Structures are given as C-alpha cells and as structure tokens.
Structure 1
Amino acid sequence: MSTPPPGPGRTSHDLPGDRRGPAGRPGSRGQQAHCDARSPAETSTPASWHVDGPTPLAPDANTFDHLLLALDAACVGVWDWDVAGGTLRWDRRTAELHGIGLDAFDGTMEAFLALVHPSDAPNIQARIAMALASGGCILEEYRVMRPDGSHAWLQGRGRTITDTTGQIVRLAGVCADTTELRHEREQAGRAMQHVSDGVAVYDNEGRFVFVNAVASRLLGYDPSELLGKPMWDVYPEIIGSAFEKLYLQARRTQVPGGFEGYYGPLAGYFEVRLFPAPDGMTVYFRNVDDRRRAEAQRAELIRSLSSALDRARKLFDITAALGQALTVPDVTDAVARAARDDLGADVAAIILIGEEGRLCMVGPTTQPKQVNRVLERISGRAATATSDVLRTAHARFDASRAEYLADYPHVGALLEMAGLGRMAHLPMIISGRPIGVILLGWASEQIFDTDERAFLTTLAGHCAHAIERARLYDRQLSVTEALQQAILPRHLPTVAGVDLTARYLPAGRDVDVGGDWYDALALPDDSLMLIVGDVGGHGLRAATVMAELKHAARAYAMLGQSPAAITGQLSASLTASGSEVYATAVVVCLNVTNQMLTWSCAGHPPPLVLDGASPAFLEEVHGPILGAVDNLVYRQDTMALPPGARLLLYSDGLVERRDTSISDRLDFLSAVAAGANTMGLDAACDRLLDEVAGPSGREDDLCLLAADLLDIR
C-alpha cells in the first residue's frame, strides 16, 4: 500500500523501498514493490517476517507491554489478522481511531470494511490481496465513517508473516490518524496548483505522487493516468537521457540540480529543477520555447541591426570616397578600393556606354593591367552579362562560375584566366537610363543574400551619380582648359637681344582652372611688351574675364600706350563690365635698343630683376587691383637694365601659401632665383617651379614669364 499524494484524488501507493531495476534504476517496470523499513545495512534480509510458532508478536511479555505503552502514547493502534482463521484483532486505540469501542468490533474483515469509506474499501481489498499473493508490506491511507457523520483519514501499515514452510499466515501492523497531515498536504497541493511552473512529485520508486494542473497539461496526461505509475513506464524515452542522469545524481547526492534542454517526446525545450528529499523528489519544469524563440529573434534582430550598421558604415565610407572623386578613373579607383576593403572582392571594373553606344571599360589604376585586359575582353563580347544587364537594367548575381557559364559558356577560358568564382553585374542608372555597369568579381563561390544584393544595388546608384558628376566635370574642365589654352600664346615672339621663356601650371585636379595668363608682344618700335595677369576665382567665369583682359591689353599695347595707360584702361574696362570678379596685372615695356625698362603694377606681385647675383624686386610703383577704384590713374617707373640682366614676371600662385607669410615666400623666391642665375633660362625656370612652386600643396594655378637681356655689344 502507499502514501497518498499531497493533493486530492489519490488514496494509495506502494511503500517506498530500495528496489532497483536494470542499470540501478528505481521502480523498473515488471517488479512488485515491498516494504523495507530497515536501515541500508539490513536490506538484504527477507521482506516478510517469519515465526516458528503461532505467536506473531515478540515472545517477551514485558517488552510487549512497553511496546504497547509507547504506541498508545503516540496514538498509534495495533492490529493483527489471522489469515487462515479470518480473525482480525484490534487493540483499544485501533478501535477508537475507527470511531467505535473495542467491544463493538466483532473481529471480522467485513466489520472493518464496513467502517471504511465506500470509495476507499476497494483499494484496501486490492492491497491486501496483492500482499497475500506476493508477500511484502502494506501502506494505505483510507477514510473511516464515524457515527457522528464525520470522517477521518487513517494510515494502515503492516507486513506479512510466514510460518516455517513459507506460507503467509498473518498480517500485522499499526494504524494512526493522519487527518491533520492529510489536510496539510491537501492545502499544499492546492497551493501547488497555482504555481506557474509544472510541478511533479515522485516517491523513491520514481512513481508519480502528485502533479499540478500545469504539469498535467505539459505532460499531456490526466493526473489519474500518472499517479502511482513510475515515470519510466509513462516516458520510457527518458531512460539514459540527461534528465534521468540528473535525477539519479540528485537522489544519490541529495543536492538540488537543474538543466535546460530539448525533450523529444514533448517536442520542446524545457527548464528543469530538481529538489531531492529523503522520501522522494520534487521536480519543477517549464516550457521555454517562447523564451528561446524570443532570444533567437532578439539575436537575429541584433545581428540584422549590426549588419545594417556595418553596411551603412561601408556605404558612408564609399559615398565619401566617391564625393572626392572628380574624374571617371577616380571613381573607378574608389569603387575598386571599396570592393576590395569592404566587400572582399578580388577584381572590379566600370563599363560605360560611350559615343555611338560603344562600350568602354575603365579599369582601376590599382589593379594589374593584365587583369584589366581580361575583364575588358569578358565585358566586350557581344553576348555577355554586361550587355544583358544594360539591356534589361536589372542586376545579375552569379554565385558560382558554373552559374555564369550556364548562360555564357564562351567566356569560360577568360574566367579561368581571371580566377573568378562568382560575379556581380550592377547597372548604373541615371533618370531611368543605364549609363554603364559595375563589374565585381570574387575568387571564391558564395551566396548573395538579400541584404547584400540590396547593398550592392544601392552602391551602384551612388556610383552612377558619381560617374555622371565626373563626366560633367570632365566636360567643363575640357571647355575651360581649351579656353585658357586658346588665351595663352602658343609661341613667344623672337626679338634680337632678348631670350624669352614661359611656364604655366594649372591648380590641382580638385580645383577648377583659374584665371592666370601671360602675354608677350613685339611692338613696331622694336620694343617688347610683357604682361602677366591673374583673374580671381576659378572656372569658366574666370577664364572668360581673363580672355577679355588679355585681348584688351594686347590691343592697347598695339596702339602704343604706356604700361600705366594700359593698366588704367584695363581697370576701367573691368569696372564698366559690372563684373564682380577682381584681377591683378603687371605690364612691362622693354626697349631692347637702349635696354630701358618701364613698368606699372596693379595689385600684382612685383617683378624680380637679377643683375648678376643680386636680386631686386621692383616695388617702387604699386597700384590697387584692377577695377577697385573708378577712373584711377596708375603710375609707372623706368629703369636702365645692365647687359645680362634677368627679369622674372610671375603670378601669386608661384609664391603664395596659406600657412606662410608672403614676405617669407618672396625672400625664398629671391634666394632660389639668385642661386639659379648662372643657369640657362629654361633650366632656371624649371628649378623655380620645382623648389618654389613644389610638386604639391598648390591651391592656385601659376604663370612664370622670364626674359634674359643678351649682351650683343
């Protein structure tokens, strides 16, 4: 017989013992339970008692009296049933516990069962029959109906007794009132019903003693289908599982434990906590599928956000690089760097639609030339992904070489030569019209996911606008440069007794063409007019004003006007034009016959004269910039030049630097010019450009016009 669970609806279970099945598992199927109340050292003795005589109790009467006294003091009754004779003997306490006097009990099993609640009597009869059939013990809780109409819970505990032949002749034991204990267990059971976790209580045989409603729902069984059954009978799949190992460990060590894992029979993830006790095990468990799903979704969201932030950073870096690219080759190099550093691509190229629809590939300058040639051959074929993407305006992604060759088998050898495993062809579209394709290639085969495709498509859009801007810049630069080159003299005049040379350097590629210009004109009176001017600003407007001033100055010189008159006329013309730009100029007239030099300066850096090794700036006359003052009369001055003197006219682009004072820069120009005075004029000009102008750091274009007076005497 068994102890009831801590909840309603359960009246009996087998007495816990030390019985083990295969692999040391308690409560294995197919074995009968028996009572074993002895210490572990005595568990090898038989389960039932054996007596040689008819007396089932201890032969020492004095000991027997003390035992009865102790039991009575503990409100425990004693009973003994003679199986063969059918006589059931009670003591006074047992009768009182059943609600009657001892003299009112007739000593029959029928009289006993008549006092038991009708619902519990069949369980008692079944337990007695089981004990008589197999030997062992009985442990049963049952209700008794008292004369006043109330009922009480009693627990009967007993053991079979055999004779010398092994025949069961008696059942003997004790009984006690467990009503209060039962109520406490029922109260605890009701509390357990409100716990959000599943709760299952097992005895030491691994049998279900109690399950709450949550556990019943999670396990998929009604409590009546579980109570009293070993867990291994209900769920044989747990044999050898992590749960069983933890269960046996907790039972052996009496240390709580827990784990989380997937349980196949219930098709879900469960968090399990085990709390062992000497008489069994309490297990709390809950389904954590929703939590794990939420954690997985959160992890995926974090991964997605991290990926999106990473792609946004890459796109920002690429956009910044494209923003600094002024020419189509610059854009291609920026795309190649981004493809290599951010996308892991091995090759890149841009194929543009040129004049008359011809395709033109622009390979990165950082990429080996042989690779660019192979890519050009691949994209230049009639039937390739490039032409199809331009025709459909839809990107094409080939995750493997085989995928690409399925449509374009004729380029297999070229792909092998380029070492490409996967490719992406991205159309660049402006105003709904494809202007070209970005070709990206990887050596390894890889799947293009949705995010990567969207990223590459966005990248192509940014590149399309950068290409369009670069083309516009190239067109504007070409027009401006052509205009400026048309303004600058193609040849300097040849004048006896004078050696002339000139240099012009545009500003950096990231700055529009400026307004610096120079001119040299041989006049009818055998004199030589030299002019260097600078229009403020850059671009087409500056070049236009420069052309106007240059042609006006030449016309005034041909009319025989003096340098001061020319600067005055240029200033008046610029003022009358209403232009908001400013300009500077220095006008020099050199009379070769008498070697007299006359000059006028309007806001321009002063000319430099080198007489032998002694340089000198002509700073005696210096007027304001052109157009600053209405009707201004500029001054001029005249000086005689010795034979062999060198004259340098230049624009401020040669000497001005943002981080250095103009005085220091002029001193530096004077020193370098003095050091190069023994050199030929061309070599001296090259040295000035190398050392004074420098290879980088210039923010403006520059002009240098130099003249050597030859000693022809």
Structure 2
Amino acid sequence: MQLGQGPAGVVVTSADGFDSATPAAQVPAQSAAVPRATSPHRARRRRGGPGHSPALDRIAGLAARLLSSSSAQVSLLTEVQTVAGGAGLPTGVLGADTPLSESLCAVTAALGRPLVVADAEADERVAGLPPVTSGAVRSYLGVPLIADGTPLGALCVFNAQVHSWSESDINLLEQLAASAVAELELTALNVEAETSRLLWELAIEAGGVGTFDWDLASGKLSWDDRLVEMFGYRRDDFDESIEAFNARVHPADRSRVSQALQEAIDTCGVLEVEYRILLPEDTTRWVGARGRALCDEQGRSVRLLGAAYDITGQREVEARLGRVLESMSAAFYSLNRDWRFTYVNAEAERLLGRPREELLGGVLWELFPAAVGSDFETNYRRVMATNEPVSFDAYYPAPLNGWYELRVWPSEDGLNVYFLEVTARRAAQEHAEAAALRAGLLAEVSEELSSHLEPQAAAKRLARLVVPTLADWCVVSLAEDSAHADTARGLQDVATWHTEPDMAEVLERCSEQRLGALAAEVVLAEATSDRPVAVLSNAAATIAAEVQDAGTRQLLERLAPDAVAVLPLGARGRTVGVLSLYNGAERGPLSSAEQHTAREVAERAGLALDNARLYRQQRRLAEELQRAMFTAPPEPDHMQVVVRYQPATEAAQVGGDWYDAFLQPDGATAVVIGDVVGHDVVAAAAMGQVRTLLRGIAADRGESPAQILSRVDHVMETLQVGTTATAVLVRFEQSADERERGITRMRWSNAGHPPPMIINPDSTATVLAGVEADLLLGIEPRARRIDAEVILDRGATLLLYTDGLVERRGQSLEDGLNLLRDRPSSVRGSGSPTLAVASGHEGPDLLQSEVQAVLCDGVVAHRGRGQQQRPRQWGREAAGTSSACEPVSL
C-alpha cells in the first residue's frame, strides 16, 4: 500500500501482500483524515487532554524495537493530526499538531487498513508529501486505530532508509494497535468519569440536593422545596406523609428502600440507599438518599434526618461506562482492598476462564492460587502500598497457561486492572529471536569450520557451536580414513561439549568408552547411516540397552539423556562423521525448526570436515612428494650432516625451496641452496629441474661457483625451462697447508639469494653481504657472475637460508638479518667448520632446534667431527697434486 499527492488530493494505492500493486484509489485531501461521522472531541477525549500520553509512548517504543525501526508514533486525528505518543521522534514533535494534508497517518485512517510503503522516495505517488521530501520518512508502515467502527488515528513506524515490511511486521503492528485502542478507551473512561464528577458538583452547587426530616413520633415527613420538586409534587399536593413518599418509589425498589429505612431506625444508624421514583409523566428518576436516625435518652429513634439528590445522570454515565467496559477488546476488572473482585468485564471473564458469578465477591488469591508469590502478587501489593500505577508482563500457568500484559492503577476502593493476553505476540517474538539465533549459528558454522584445516580441530569447534542453541550437549564422531586400534570400525568420538561445566568431564569419559561399549551393529549403523536417527523420549534406557559395559551405563545414567538426534555428517557421497545431539527431560526433543537447522548444520559441517580431510591427504602427499625430491644426506668421515625440513603452513605445503650438497671431480665440496619463484606444485616441479641441472653440471667439472651458475643459466635457456630462481653456490677448498693451519677456503657465487652468514667460533656472526648479488637464474644467460672468497677458521659455521627465514609480514629484510645474526649460538657447531643450510617460509621461532637447525620449511646443519682419519682421498691431493679439499656432502 502506497500513497502520493494526486491532482484531487492524496492518492492511496493498496496492495495484496507486500508489493503487488492494485488499481489506485484517490482519497480527497480533505477526507484523508477521520470521516466526518467522527466527532472531533471524541479523539480528544481518548487522548486525555492536550500533550501526549506516556502509555502511548511505551506502545510506540515497543513497536519501534520489535520492528527494528528508528521511529514510531501514535497520531490522533480531528481537524488536525496530533502526535499523542512516540519514540525516536525529534524534539517538539510529541503533542504537536500538523495539517491533515501533510499526514501519512490521515491516509492510513481513511483507508481503514494497513498502509505499507517500502520506498517513499522512489514512489512518485508519495514523493510530494512533506515528511518524504524532508527526508524524515523513506519507508512507512501504519495501522489505523479503530474504535466502535470509527477510526481515531493511526499507529505507525518509519525509517529514513528503504525498508521492506513483511506480513509478520503488519500482524505485529496490528496487535500493538489493539493495545493503543484499549489505552485510548481507558482514557475515555477516565474522561467520562471526570465529566460525571463535575456534573455532580454543578448539580450540588445549583441546589439540586434536597433535605428531609421525618418525625417518627408524629409521622410528619418534611421536605424542602427542592425535594418536593424532585419527586414531582407541588407543595400543595404533598401531604407530608410517608405514604406520599412510598407512592413515588418504584414498585421494584419499594421493599428494599423500606428495609433500609427500618434498619436505620432500629439501629439508630445511617441510612444510605439509592432507588428509582416514578414521576407523573411516566418518567423514571434515580435518587440517592443519605441520612441518620436521631435517638432519645432510651436509645430509641425519634427522628430521621437526611438529604436526597438526583443521581439519574450519574446512573446513566455508569451505565454507559459499563457498556464501554463490556464492549472493550481488553480485559478489565476491579479489586477492593480485601482483594475481592468488584467488577469484571466480558473479556476478563473470557480470559480468566471463570463465570462472572463465581468471580464477583471472590478473593483473587483463592480463585487464582498460582498468582501467590508471582509477579502478579508482587506488583499488585506494590500498587496498593505506594498508590502508584505499574505496567508489567507476566506468565500464568495452567489452566490459563498464557502471557499477559498488565496495567494496574490504584483507586479509592482498591485496584483497577487492565490486561491483554500477549501469548501469541510473545511466541512470535521468541520465534523470531530463536530463528535469528539459528540463522546466526548456520553462518557461524560455515565461517568457523571453513577456517579449520584439521578435521579434529573443526570437530571441536562444531561441538561448541551447536550447544546450547540446538542441544544440551553433543558428541562429534569422525570416520577415519583407515581403521585404528582405538576406533570402532573407523568411527571415533573426537569432540564433546556440555552446557553444564560439572557434567563436561562425565560426558568426556562417556565418549571415550561409548563406541567401544556399544553393540557392533549399533556402531556400524551410526557410521554408515545417511539419514538422521531420533529418539524422542527415554533415550537413556534405549541407549543403555545397547551398551555392553556397566561403567559406561553408569555414566549414561548420570548424563540422563531424554531425547537424542543422530545426524550423519556427509559430503561427496560418503559419511565423514556423526553429530549426536542430546537433550535432558526438561528441554525435550528437538522442535521441527531445530531439526531443520540441525540438518543444515550437519550438511555444512560434513562438507567442511570433508574438505579438511581432503586437505590433510593432499598435504601429506605433497610433503612426501617434495621430500622425495631431496636425496638423503651422506655421512662422510670428517663431516656430520643433519637435515631438518619443516613444511610451510599454507596452500599445498610445497614450494620452490631446495638445497643440495655433493663432491666435485677435483675433491671440493659443493653446497647450494635456492628458491624457485612460486609456492605450489608447479614451483616444486620447476625446482626439481633446476636442482637436477645444477647438480649434473657441477658434478661434471671442478669449476668455480660463478662458472657453474653461468652454465646452468645457458642450459636453462637451451632447454626452455621457463622459470626463474635464486641460488647461492658454495665451494669448500682446503690444501694440506690450510688443513694444518685449521682453516678452510670458501668460494661462493650469489644469484639474487639472501646472503650467507658465517658464525665464528666465538659466536659472533658475519653476514656476507659485502659482495653484491648477481642476477637471478633464468633471466639473462649472458649476465656476468663473479666469485667471492673467504677464509673460515676451524669451528666456524656457515648458514645458508631462504627468504622465509628472514622476511616476514611486518618485518624488513634488514631486521630479519639482524635477528638471525643476534642468535648465532642456536646454530653454531664446534670442531671442524660447520655447514648449516636453511630454507623456509614464514613460521614459528626460527632458531630453536636440538640439532642447531633453523625451523621453517627445511634445515640442513653440517658440523665437523674434528681431526679424524679419512677413509679415502679426494680431488687434487688424491691425484698427487699439492692442493686438496676436505670432502663435504649433504
């Protein structure tokens, strides 16, 4: 339903549902307010005077909160619109009047049904209205306030943004509108009562009260002129006898009035009676009489003095009030100070479930014992004690079994109570909140489980997510890739969670024994089922019957499950696990909505767990593949070589980092470390090509590192390897003289790789960064490459590494080198020169290892063993030359 400004006034378009437009109906601007059949002062009376109503403010605030709207208001319509209540409104709006031609609520009242506007700015029929053009209203939902078939105004919510309204939104606002109408009706009652009181005072002031004096000894009854006139006599016609009085009393009331007179005379007490009199023109008048009997010395009544007054108007108002109370859609009753019912309207009679005859005169606490000690008693007694009204919501158990919204205010005689049954509204609110929780759970399951690459970690997180939203406690079981000794047919309980911390340990112990204690066919059924299995009641006994171990049965008895739902966690045609949801007797079985959510959770969890399983398999395969590319380190007599390889924590767990060590034909030891660009299987394959090329070329001749790298560059171009790589190639040489002096000559060439580091015997470290690195391999085969040379003392350590060791997020290369240089003792060896080769990606602390290795993708540590006898000679010394190199291998 939408509105706009047409040539003849406000244009209103109603719609079936939310947005399907039907032909527009034009409502003249002047008639967009309440129809002329409604008197203007009627809405004023229901408003209770000028300004606004706090009670209507509360209703508007509730509407704004429940419908997630920024603003809400209750508008009353007469010649103008008056905002009688609101929430989220600008200062000065409450109580203010605006023209009907500028009012969206006027259109709502004229339609007599909800007005729905999703996007006012985009609707040309609404764009011209001032609330829309000012930007205050972009979306609007209004419901008319109708009493006795006549619109009084509207309850509406609106936002400054586009918003679509649902059927449930409309229904909820209509329920709140009923509360607003009831509030206005109650206000009207108070206004009527006040009017009656003023009329009565005016009647007294105008001399409408007459007096009487009955001399009991002589029987003379004296009336003043007002009373004579009230009874329809002329002074000459009234014979001052009790018979003249009785002649005017209505026959139906005569006996009751006589009894009241006699009781006052017999007791020398008070007379208080109301009765009807019949006037000569066949009209009836209600009269109220108050008086007192005067006694002589013997205690006998001798006179009866008093006053009588016309209460016809009061009785008519009371009758009207009674009719209004009876026709109200809200329940209403009154209690005296003894907590007895003095009035009950028809709706209260219906909601309280007892006939009026039983309620009237009955004590509240006796008729409704469940109210004792509840919010009802607490609030009722507070109102009685403080004389201040209260509003609250409360639940009354069977036989009423419902939620009620109550307003209680004091009166001279006791309490007045107005209440509405809000069970449906409360249920709708709780349903919406539960649905939001379940939707949030599904989103959280998808987000949380997709971030876990280990199935067991994902299962533990799943257990915590579903409790307590779906169950009191749960068990998550995984189907292993292959059977293990501690599993039952490949099914293993890996995660549990309980709402009660005291029972968490019991549940964990039970899960450790559960599968082993269950009958084999039960476990097999869990592991192979492709649909949920549910036990709706007495689940403890059902499960215990299948448990073969007494200890496990005792644990089950302590857990006391009453209902259980077992859901398979499946994906890609296989069951990867089982989610078991348990509830105690207090919560009962899963509702249909919870079952639906549980199935969706199981589907998403199954896919996430299967992804984690596949990732684990892929990672294991990738690790084995990459490790298989590296040869096992040799063990020469004078050298110790230790290899440690720590894979990366991302992607497919493989990359282009590589290392190698071998002997050249002249006896020198060659060590190389490199990094092929990329971090995937393609990079690993390219790494294998480059490593093989370099190993074969270096092993063919006793060339220097620069010469070898140049040849590798040429061969890569010839074979069209099509990749780039960094590398540091080191060659160790040692003549007989250098061996006696305890030194080693190291030559190296760097193709764009992080610089080597020397850790001296005194634990100081030197980064070999003085020589500028050459171009990477695979870019320009004719690039000039140079050799650098350094002398190493006995006990020195050479550390080679890849960029992952020193380059991390948020850390510069210089900071990484400084960190590595400041921790030399972690990788330093002793005795003969030590070689350490490290390659890696980002990871944990990279300088912690028992083998003096650097933790990351991979580490090679090489330490000399001192002056041991070598089994054979290598290189030039073996060939009879004067120069020899200690063999170094990896």
TM-score bracket, normalised by the shorter chain, equals 0.5 to 0.7
CA contact (8 A) 1:353 1:436 kept: no
User: Which amino acid counterpart does residue 626 of structure 1 have in structure 2?
Assistant: L
Q: 1:523 to 1:271 in 2, by over 3 A?
A: closer
Which of 512, 525, 532 is the matching residue for 1:394? 532
SS at match of 1:514: coil
User: Which amino acid counterpart does residue 486 of structure 1 have in structure 2?
Assistant: A
2: distance between equivalents of 1:310 and 1:437?
A: 23
In the alignment, structure 1 residue 433 sits paired with structure 2 residue 560:
no
Q: Residue 430 of structure 2 aligns with which residue? A: 300
Shift of 1:541: 1.8
Q: 1:566 to 1:103 in 2, by over 3 A?
A: closer
Q: Residue 87 of structure 2 aligns with which residue? A: none
In the alignment, structure 1 residue 623 sits paired with structure 2 residue 774:
yes
User: Which amino acid counterpart does residue 644 of structure 2 have in structure 1?
Assistant: Y
Which of 410, 421, 429 is the matching residue for 1:290? 421
CA contact (8 A) 2:729 2:749 kept: yes
2: distance between equivalents of 1:661 and 1:207?
A: 84
Q: Residue deviations 1:353-407, cap 9 Å, x none?
A: 648999324565999998776345246x521155246224324468766334365
Shift of 1:337: 6.4
Q: 1:587 to 1:692 in 2, by over 3 A?
A: same
2: distance between equivalents of 1:571 and 1:632?
A: 8
Which of 407, 411, 414 is the matching residue for 1:275? 411
* Greater C-alpha radius of gyration: 1
Q: Residue 21 of structure 2 aligns with which residue? A: none
Q: Residue 661 of structure 2 aligns with which residue? A: 520
Shift of 1:466: 2.9
Q: Residue 490 of structure 1 aligns with which residue? A: 632
Aligned pairs for 1:560-709 (under 5 A) are 560=701, 562=703, 563-572=705-714, 582-590=724-732, 597-608=746-757, 619-620=770-771, 622-627=773-778, 629-637=779-787, 639=789, 644=794, 648=798, 650-652=800-802, 655-658=805-808, 661-663=812-814, 665-666=816-817, 679-680=830-831, 693-694=847-848, 700-704=856-860, 706=862, 708=864
Q: 1:653 to 1:702 in 2, by over 3 A?
A: farther
2: distance between equivalents of 1:667 and 1:89?
A: 123
In the alignment, structure 1 residue 328 sits paired with structure 2 residue 455:
yes
SS at match of 2:678: strand
- Which structure has more relative contact order (CA 8 Å, sep 6+)? It is 1
TM-score (norm. length: structure 2): 0.52
Q: 1:698 to 1:370 in 2, by over 3 A?
A: farther
SS at match of 1:625: coil
User: Which amino acid counterpart does residue 275 of structure 1 have in structure 2?
Assistant: S
Shift of 1:635: 2.0
CA contact (8 A) 2:656 2:678 kept: yes
SS at match of 1:434: strand
Shift of 1:199: 8.7
The answer to which of 545-554 and 405-414 deviates more is 405-414
SS at match of 2:641: strand
Which of 593, 600, 607 is the matching residue for 1:465? 607
SS at match of 2:575: strand
CA contact (8 A) 2:830 2:864 kept: no
User: Which amino acid counterpart does residue 632 of structure 1 have in structure 2?
Assistant: R
Shift of 1:553: 1.2
CA contact (8 A) 2:475 2:581 kept: yes
1: distance between equivalents of 2:541 and 2:649?
A: 42
User: Which amino acid counterpart does residue 623 of structure 2 have in structure 1?
Assistant: E
Shift of 1:598: 4.3
1: distance between equivalents of 2:308 and 2:782?
A: 130
SS at match of 1:359: coil
User: Which amino acid counterpart does residue 327 of structure 1 have in structure 2?
Assistant: E
Q: Residue 643 of structure 2 aligns with which residue? A: 503
Q: 1:238 to 1:310 in 2, by over 3 A?
A: closer
CA contact (8 A) 1:346 1:441 kept: yes
User: Which amino acid counterpart does residue 682 of structure 2 have in structure 1?
Assistant: R
Shift of 1:544: 0.8
Shift of 1:472: 2.0
2: distance between equivalents of 1:671 and 1:95?
A: 120
In the alignment, structure 1 residue 360 sits paired with structure 2 residue 499:
no
In the alignment, structure 1 residue 351 sits paired with structure 2 residue 479:
yes
Q: 1:573 to 1:125 in 2, by over 3 A?
A: same
Q: Residue 548 of structure 2 aligns with which residue? A: 410
1: distance between equivalents of 2:782 and 2:361?
A: 111
Shift of 1:469: 1.9
Q: 1:109 to 1:686 in 2, by over 3 A?
A: same
The answer to which of 410-419 and 326-335 deviates more is 410-419
2: distance between equivalents of 1:485 and 1:201?
A: 88
2: distance between equivalents of 1:516 and 1:630?
A: 21
Shift of 1:518: 1.8
SS at match of 1:626: coil
Shift of 1:623: 0.7
TM-score (norm. length: structure 1): 0.63
In the alignment, structure 1 residue 124 sits paired with structure 2 residue 124:
no
SS at match of 1:547: helix
User: Which amino acid counterpart does residue 552 of structure 1 have in structure 2?
Assistant: L
For structure 2, list consecutive stretches of 5 or more residues without a partner in the other structure.
Answer: 1-206, 497-503, 737-743, 870-883, 885-890
Q: 1:199 to 1:172 in 2, by over 3 A?
A: farther
Q: Residue 479 of structure 1 aligns with which residue? A: 621
CA contact (8 A) 1:587 1:601 kept: yes
2: distance between equivalents of 1:500 and 1:233?
A: 101
User: Which amino acid counterpart does residue 485 of structure 1 have in structure 2?
Assistant: R
Aligned pairs for 1:125-274 (under 5 A) are 127-128=257-258, 136=266, 141-143=275-277, 145-146=279-280, 178-179=309-310, 181-183=311-313, 185-187=315-317, 189-190=319-320, 193-194=323-324, 215=345, 235=361
Q: 1:344 to 1:523 in 2, by over 3 A?
A: farther
Shift of 1:430: 0.6
Q: Residue 690 of structure 2 aligns with which residue? A: 549
Which of 537, 558, 568 is the matching residue for 2:678? 537
1: distance between equivalents of 2:817 and 2:635?
A: 28
CA contact (8 A) 1:568 1:631 kept: yes
2: distance between equivalents of 1:96 and 1:443?
A: 79
2: distance between equivalents of 1:643 and 1:200?
A: 104
Q: Residue 6 of structure 1 aligns with which residue? A: none
CA contact (8 A) 2:488 2:523 kept: no
| Aligned length, in residue pairs | 603
Shift of 1:656: 0.8
SS at match of 1:377: helix
Q: Residue 520 of structure 2 aligns with which residue? A: 382
Q: 1:630 to 1:219 in 2, by over 3 A?
A: closer
1: distance between equivalents of 2:443 and 2:854?
A: 29
2: distance between equivalents of 1:478 and 1:646?
A: 36
Q: 1:407 to 1:569 in 2, by over 3 A?
A: farther
Please give the root-mean-square deviation of Cα atoms over the aligned residues, in Å: 6.2
Shift of 1:624: 1.7
Q: 1:698 to 1:349 in 2, by over 3 A?
A: farther
Q: Residue deviations 1:581-627, cap 9 Å, x none?
A: 64211223445667765432211233456786686655546312222
User: Which amino acid counterpart does residue 437 of structure 1 have in structure 2?
Assistant: V
SS at match of 1:473: helix
The answer to which of 359-368 and 515-524 deviates more is 359-368
CA contact (8 A) 1:606 1:617 kept: yes
CA contact (8 A) 2:477 2:493 kept: yes
